[in-house]
Amino acid sequence: MPELPEVETVRRGLQPVMEGARIMRVETRRPDLRFPFPERFAERLEGRRIVSLGRRAKYLTTHVEDGPVLICHLGMSGSFRVETDDTADAPGEFHHARSKSATHDHVVFHLAAATGDAARIVFNDPRRFGFMLFAEGNASEHPMLAGLGVEPTGNELDGKLLAELFRGRRTPLKAALLDQRLIAGLGNIYVSEALWRAGLSPTRAAGTIAEGGRKGMEACERLATAIRSVIADAIEAGGSSLRDYVHADGSLGYFQHAFSVYDREGEACRKPGCKGHVERIVQSGRSTFHCAACQR
C-alpha cells in the first residue's frame, strides 16, 4: 500500500496523538507479523513517554524516553487508526464508511495523553507484510535503515546526484527507481508517475541518462524534478487512497485522482498534444504504466 507519501500522511495523522503521550499498555494479538515481535516487545514500551514520531523512507520511527526506537513498516496492507472513547463508542461515524475487519487488528497501543485523555493506536494489516522492530540507540544504524538511499523530499536529490547514482547501471529506470538503496521511499505507483512526468521510458537503461552528455544531464534534471514534485504533490494531497487505505483519522487521500498513468491502462495520454495512450507492461513481475509515445 503505502509508499513514502502515504507513510508521511500516517505520521502526520498520528503525531498529535502520540507525541508527549505515555504508553500505558501494548497488546499483541499474534506472535508475529512479517517477523516475530522483538523479545519483551510490550514490556519495553509500557510506561514510557513518546518523545517524537519520525519517518525514514517508508519506515515510521517512534522515539520513547529511555527505551528502544520502535521501527514500523506498513508493508502492503498495513494501516494505523486512532480510537478515542468518543470514536469507539459512536456507531455510524466514519468507522461505518470503511468497515475494516478487526480480525486483522494485530497490535494495540493504549496511550494516555499529558491531559489524561486516553487513546488507542490500532495497527491493522491483513496481509501481514508489515513489521515492528526495535533499534537500540540510533535508528539510522539499524540494519533495516542503514542501507537506504537519499530521501526524495527536500533539496538533496538533484540531477547531478541522480547522474552519479545511475552511471554505469544497465538496469531499467523502473528497477533503478524502485531500488531503495539509491532513492528511498518510491514504490510502484510513484515510479510510474515520475517517469511519465519526466518523459522517460521505464525500460530504458538507467545509465543511459547519466552518460548522455548534455541531453543526459537534462534528462537527469527532469527526472529529479519529476520525482520531487510527484512526491510533494502526493503528500500535499494526503497520499493516495487505493482499496482500503485510509488516514489515521479515517479520512481519505486524494492523490489517486491525480494519477497520470497508474492504473489507467488504455486511457489517452494526458500530456498536452500527445496522441499516445497508457500501456501496462510487466517489469520484474510488477505492473508498469507508461505512454510509449512521449516517454523515451
Partner DNA sequence: CCGATTACCTGCACGC
Partner DNA sequence: TGCGTGCAGGTAATCG
As annotated, the active-site residues are: 2-3, 58, 286
Least CB distance from residue 290 to DNA, whole Å?
A: 13
> In the block, which residue shows the cell 505507483?
189
Least CB distance from residue 185 to DNA, whole Å?
A: 8
CB-wise, 67 or 239, nearer to DNA? 239
CB-wise, 173 or 291, nearer to DNA? 173
Q: Is 194 exposed, middle or buried (0-12, 13-18, 19+ CB in 10 A)?
A: buried
Least CB distance from residue 263 to DNA, whole Å?
A: 8
Query: Which residues are at the interface with DNA (CB under 7 A)?
Result: 1-3, 6, 34, 57-58, 73, 75-77, 101, 103-104, 126-129, 144, 169-172, 175-176, 178, 180, 186-189, 206, 239-245, 283-287
Grid coordinates given for 51: 518523545
Do residues 50 and 286 touch, judged by C-beta distance below 8 A?
no
Grid coordinates given for 106: 494485530
Grid coordinates given for 81: 487508526
Alpha-helix residue ranges (DSSP H) falling in the chain: 4-18, 41-45, 85-89, 94-97, 143-146, 159-166, 173-178, 188-198, 207-210, 213-236
CB-wise, 23 or 148, nearer to DNA? 148
Grid coordinates given for 95: 468507522
CA distance 255 to 263: 13
Least CB distance from residue 54 to DNA, whole Å?
A: 16
